Chains A and B, each alone.
Chain A
Amino acid sequence: MRKKGLVFLLILFLIITVLLVIFTDRWLESEMESFGSAFVGATVEFDNVDFSLLNLHLKWDSLQVTDPNNTWNNLFQAGITDFDLQLVPLLSGKVIVNNIMMEGIRFNTRRQAQGRALSQEERAEQSEIAVLIREKLETEAAQMPVFNLSQFSQKINVDSLWNLVNLQTPDNVDSLADVFRQDFQGWEERIESLPSQKDLSEMTRKVENIQPEKINTVEEFQSTLQQVNQVYQNVDSLYNSVKTLKSEFSGDVSRIKQTKTVVSDWIRQDYQKAINMAKIPDLSVKNVARILFGERIIRQVQMVLSYIGTARYYAEQVKSVAPKKENPPRLEGQTVYFSPREAQPKFWIKQISLSGQILNDMNLSGKVNDIVSRQTVIGKPTTIEIRGSRQDQRALNLMATLDYREDLPHEKIELQLQQIPLASVKLTDFPLLPYKIEKGSGEIQAELNFKGPEFLTNIRFDSRNLSFDFSDAPEKMDERLAKLSRSIVQSLNAISFDATIKRTPDVFNFRVNSNIDNLIADRMKSILSDEIQKARNQIESRVKEEVDEYRQKLDSLVNNRESELRDRIEKVEREIEQRKKLIADKRSEIENRINARKQELKKKAEEEAKKKLKDIF
């Protein structure tokens, strides 16, 4: 034991105490701001944090939480807040707070200095499933239809567009004509292989030269008839071949004519391509609804989801009995949480009492109960209940339950806002609704339900008695669009929309319906449809004009070649038929001659027999 050491220790203790008194508040403020910013995703500022080691009392004068989506605004700010920490649990590293009084809460306030939105890497860790859902929503937002104002403001110039259109049909028709030519060439070669008139004459010459009257003997008759039958069979077989060829030709021509119908499809494709190049707008109701409110809804749900993701992450961390081994940076290690004994968790704020103002002097009060490191220890979920009301029926109700007691985390958030004043509010970034609302009120009902990997969100908004401030009109808007915009806005005195986002393991669905979908689509169509129709007709006739020549050439090729080849086949067919008939006639003649000769011989034999009989008697 060294005396010097004890003295040094005493001095060191005094120095540390002084340093703690001087620097604890700043250190604590910095730590709280750092944790809060990582949780919210944007700058969180505490002012004048004061921690008393003797009383274990913590106090700050104000708290500002920056809106990550608009860093010049606060999500909310709060005034003086103070609370006591319990000493005995603190010795076991447990932070237990009975009640925090948070006063002077105000929402959506303007910041004096711009806050900062944190990048995804700087933010607090989030549960894997929340990150997955957030990414899915991000994809959904990226696929949101884009409303291109310029496509409405520019007149469609078909002449200039036409230079850019590269029609495919002419080339395709040329290629098809080549294929047809080759097909017909094949047929021509087959027809040429048929016997010519000369061949047929040669084939039948012997038969034609037979003179039945000059045949006398039975043997001669038999030989001649056999010869004629042989030639007849040959010609008949040839005739059948030509018939088959003719039938096959007819079949092939039908196929060629059927193939030719593809030209109509090519023309349709060329027409559609030209229409696409002209960027003729598609004014479907579905697109208008998503353009109007889609992205804004998705951003809000994403924001809620990021908070839920962080809450779930910490809940999963402390709930895990055997956490997975991580790869932390060197010398940082991985903290393993164990279940607390007794009735007290590691961290527990039993209640935060809130009071403040919202929406132009509406008094607000509420409670956040049981922010706790492990809900299973106290057997209760974290609940948030905020209410506000005014005599003119303006009201706000926010109820939220974050339940991590079961295996599947479950969060439910319900928000109701009634009679919200909408003056100076711009409802959408839709370019044709650029005006702020001058007068009117609205209601919002939202229910967000997350259970494990699934979630269902319903948001309904209704507004009434709306009038718009036209002095807020953008200067550079095209005159025609300005007219369209005013026409839309003048007929709007109520806006409502109904959005649903649903996610199950198999399905992701995002739907938005609004009463102004049809209105906007109809107005746009009524003003733009004449021009659109005219442009469509012009393009159609240009395409037709350009392509018709090729189509006619193709038709003519098919028809001419068909007719030419069919004539040739039929000519050969007729020729063979004639020869066949001639041979048949000759055969009949020989047969008749044989019969006559038979009769003649029979008669002669009878006469000779009679004569011999007469001589005998």
Chain B
Amino acid sequence: MLFIQYFAKLIKILRSAASPSQIAGGFILGMLIGLSPSLISLTNLILVLLLIILNVNLATALFSFAVFSGIAYLIDPLSHSLGYFLLVGLDDLREFWISLYNAPLTPYTFFNNTVVLGSLIIALVLLIPMYFLVKTGIIKYREKYEPRVQNWKWMKMMKSTLIYKWYERLKFLGD
């Protein structure tokens, strides 16, 4: 059921009127929020504001947030180790962290938590490649694969499901 939900969401996004840049923008913002272990932080507040203010696709952001929340759980040990290495293992960065620690508002990003910092760095590394990957992927999909996918038997079956119909009704929320 969950798979169908996500798949329906994905197909919906791919077919929406949103431009590939909007979809890729929503995707990377959702990824940044999803990879962060703590929802309530200054970083996430800024990201949500950006999500609302910028003209990016919200449905894609929600989709990528859901997917990357799961990925965040899986890569937690990696994030923890990376964060610990950056915060404790590198003496050269120590002064920088101390400056951040004492700067106004930055403590509320909880950057001095190993998983928060580790996952933020991973997200930032993935940010640009992921943006272009998603954007190119959407363009290619729309050009080559969309008509074929629409003719798949099980795609037609899925369209007849109740959940898909609900998405159709609420699709304006994603635009």
Q: Which residues of A contact B (CB under 8 A)?
A: 1-2, 5-6, 8-9, 12, 91-94, 322-323, 325, 328, 330-342
Among A93, A94, A336, A339, contact of B114 (Cβ-Cβ < 8 Å): A336
The answer to whether A92 and B107 touch (CB under 8 A), given A5-B53, A339-B98, A340-B101, is yes
A332 touches B115 (CB 8 A): yes
Knowing A2-B55, A341-B102 are in contact, say whether A334-B108 is a contact too (CB < 8 A). no
Q: Return chain A residues, CB-CB under 8 Å to B73.
A: 330-331
User: Does B83 touch A at the CB level, under 8 Å?
Assistant: yes
CA distance A1 to B55 in the complex (A): 5
Q: Find chain A residues with CB under 8 A from B110 CB.
A: 335
Indicate if the CB atoms of A322 and B76 lie closer than 8 Å: no
A331 adjacent to B112 (CB under 8 Å): no
The answer on a CB contact under 8 Å between A331 and B76 is: yes
Contact assessment for B102 and A333 in the assembled complex, using a CB-CB cutoff below 8 Å: no
Q: Are B84 and A334 in contact (CB under 8 A)?
A: yes
- The answer on a CB contact under 8 Å between B72 and A331 is yes
A92-B104 contact in complex given A6-B53, A336-B87, A338-B112, C-beta closer than 8 Å: yes
Which residue in chain A gives the minimum CB-CB distance to B100?
A: A338
B102 touches A340 (CB 8 A): yes
In the complex formed, the residue of A with least CB distance to B49 is: A9
A91 to B105, Cβ gap below 8 A? yes
A-B contact pairs, 7 of them (CB 8 A): A1-B54, A1-B55, A333-B114, A334-B83, A334-B84, A334-B114, A335-B110
- Min CB distance, B61 to chain A, in Å? 12
**How many Å lie between the Cα of A436 and that of B37 in the bound state?**
58
**Contact residue among B54, B88, B94, B107 (Cβ-Cβ distance under 8 Å from A323):** B88
B12 at interface, CB cutoff 8 A: no
Is B52 engaged at the interface, CB distance under 8 Å to the other chain? yes
Taking CB atoms, residues of chain B closer than 8 Å to A332 are: 37, 115
Residues of B within 8 A of A322 (CB): 88
In the complex, A339→B98 CA distance in Å? 7
Taking the nearest CB of chain B, how far is it from the CB of A462, in angstroms?
52
CA distance A77 to B84 in the complex (A): 42
Interface digits, B84-101 against A, CB 8 Å rule (1 contact, 0 not)? 100110000010011101
Which residues 34-88 in B have Cβ within 8 Å of A in the complex? 37, 49, 52-55, 72-73, 76, 79-81, 83-84, 87-88
B150: Cβ under 8 A from any A Cβ: no
A5 and B52 contact, Cβ closer than 8 Å, known pairs A93-B107, A338-B97, A341-B102:
yes
- The answer to whether the Cβ of B161 comes within 8 Å of any Cβ in the partner chain is no
- The chain A residue with its CB closest to the CB of B85 is A325
B125-143 contacts to A, CB under 8 A, are none
Question: Which chain A positions have C-beta within 8 A of B101?
Answer: 93, 338, 340
Interface membership of B5, Cβ < 8 A = no
Give the one of B49, B72, B105, B115 with max A CB within 10 A.
Answer: B115
Q: Range of interface residues on chain B?
A: 35 or more
**For residue B94, which residue of chain A has the nearest CB?**
A338
B residues in contact with A335, CB < 8 Å: 110, 112-114
Would you give the shortest CB distance from A486 to chain B, in whole angstroms?
66
| CB-based contact A92/B49 at 8 Å | no
State in angstroms the CA–CA spacing of A331 and B114 once bound together: 10
Contact yes or no, A333 B53, CB < 8 A? no
Which chain A residues border B112 with CB–CB below 8 Å? 335-338
CB of A166, distance to nearest CB on chain B (Å): 62
- Chain B residues with Cβ below 8 Å from A334 are 80, 83-84, 113-115
Question: Would you call A338 and B98 a contact (CB within 8 A)?
Answer: yes
Chain B residues with CB below 8 A from A330, complex form: 73, 76
A95 CB to nearest B CB, Å: 11
- Looking across the interface, which residue of chain B has its beta carbon closest to that of A93? B107
Docked Cα-Cα span, A341 to B99, in Å, equals 8
Q: Which residues of A contact B87 (CB under 8 A)?
A: 336
Indicate with 1 or 0, residue by residue over B163-175, a CB within 8 angstroms of chain A CB atoms: 0000000000000
Report the separation of the CA atoms of residues A216 and B25 in the bound assembly, to the nearest whole angstrom.
152
**Chain A residue, CB-CB nearest to B97:** A338
CA distance A66 to B103 in the complex (A): 39
* B43 CB to nearest A CB, Å: 14
Q: How far is the CA of A337 from the CA of B101 in the complex (A)?
A: 9
A545 to B88, CA, bound (A): 80
Contact of A331 among B37, B81, B99, B102 (CB under 8 A): B37
Q: Which B residue sits closest to A328, measured CB to CB?
A: B80
Q: How far is the CA of A325 from the CA of B37 in the complex (A)?
A: 18
CB distance from B30 to the nearest CB of A (A): 15
Q: How far is the CB of A348 from chain B (nearest CB, A)?
A: 14
Complex CA gap A2/B18 in Å reads 14
The answer to whether A91 and B88 touch across the interface, beta carbons within 8 angstroms, is no
Query: What 11 additional pairs, Cβ within 8 angstroms, besides A322-B88, A330-B76, A334-B115?
Result: A1-B55, A6-B53, A92-B107, A328-B80, A332-B115, A335-B110, A335-B112, A336-B87, A338-B101, A338-B112, A341-B98
B102 touches A92 (CB 8 A): yes
CB distance from B137 to the nearest CB of A (A): 24
- Report the Cα distance A479→B103, complex, angstroms: 76
Residues of A within 8 Å of B80, CB to CB, are 328, 333-334
Residues of A within 8 A of B113 (CB): 333-336
A9–B76 CB distance below 8 A = no
In the complex, the answer to whether A333 meets B37 with C-beta atoms within 8 Å is yes
A251 to B73, CA, bound (A): 86
B105→A9 contact, CB < 8 A: no
A92 pairs with B52, CB closer than 8 A: no
The chain B residue with its CB closest to the CB of A342 is B102
- Please, how many angstroms separate the alpha-carbon atoms of A339 and B11 in the complex? 50
Per the bound structure, the CA–CA distance linking A92 and B108 in Å amounts to 8
* B contact residues around A93 at 8 Å (CB): 101, 106-108
Shortest Cβ distance from A373 into chain B, in angstroms?
12
A339 surroundings in chain B (CB, below 8 A): 98
Instruction: Determine which of B49, B55, B88 lies in contact with A336 in the assembled complex, contact meaning CB atoms within 8 Å.
Output: B88
How many whole Å from A284's CB to the nearest CB in chain B?
56
Task: Give A334 to B37 CA distance when docked, in angstroms.
Answer: 12
Q: How far apart sit A267 and B94, CA to CA, in the bound complex (Å)?
A: 77
Question: Which 10 residue pairs of A and B lie closest in terms of their CB atoms, listed nearest first?
Answer: A93-B107, A333-B115, A331-B37, A91-B104, A338-B101, A5-B52, A333-B113, A341-B102, A336-B87, A330-B76
Residues of A close to B33: CB separation below 8 A: none
* Bound Cα distance from A461 to B105, whole angstroms: 53
B29 within 8 A of A: no
- Does any Cβ of A come within 8 Å of B24's Cβ? no
> How far does the alpha carbon of A334 sit from the alpha carbon of B88 in the complex, in Å?
11
Are the CB atoms of A9 and B52 closer together than 8 Å? yes
Report the nearest B residue to A333, measured CB to CB. B115
**Which of A1, A91, A94, A340 is close to B53, meaning CB atoms less than 8 Å apart?**
A1
